[in-house]
Amino acid sequence: MMKLNFITEELIYHKSPQELTAMIYEKFIQNIDEAVIAIQHSDYFTANEKIKQCNDILYRLGIGLTYQAGIIAEQLDTLYNYMSERLIRANLKKDTFILCEVQQMMKKLSNAWNEVLKATPKVTSSLRKNKLSSYEQHISIILS
């Protein structure tokens, strides 16, 4: 798993939306790890912040869904909403078991996403916009 501490706008600019989604999934998993450690050390403020960041990630992933893609977008939306509800419960109870449950769901999703990325040829556009798309702008906020 890649640590996402040094994300620049330039790095984001050179990634496809699919690659950015993979990076977001990794950031989510990393935040859960940090929240669990914080709870184990009774650092509830940090745990709360990390869990809130995870919910923010889920919200932004939901915004980025393209419903014209079909049923998969609806299923992802349902999964993101479920995970968000579980995170809220975990945060209220400071329950590391629930956090690990949600993290495992995201790991499975991330692994599947990465497999699809490997199997799909990367398409680069010579007409890349000078400005970041709105999806990429949302991602840059999450990853920074």
Scanning the structure block, which residue is given the tokens 């906020």?
141
Domains detected in the chain: 16-143 (1.20.120.340)
Q: Are 136 and 88 in contact (CB under 8 A)?
A: no
Listed as ranges, residues in the chain with pLDDT below 70 are 1-14, 122-144
pLDDT given for residue 65 in this prediction:
87
Instruction: Give the Cα separation of 18 and 117 in Å (integer).
Output: 7
pLDDT given for residue 131 in this prediction:
46
pLDDT given for residue 81 in this prediction:
97
pLDDT given for residue 9 in this prediction:
59
pLDDT given for residue 1 in this prediction:
45
Q: Residue 125 region, left (φ>0) first, then alpha (ψ -120 to 50), else beta?
A: beta
DSSP code per residue over 66-96: -GGG-HHHHHHHHHHHHHHHHHHHHHHHT-H
pLDDT given for residue 48 in this prediction:
97
pLDDT given for residue 125 in this prediction:
46
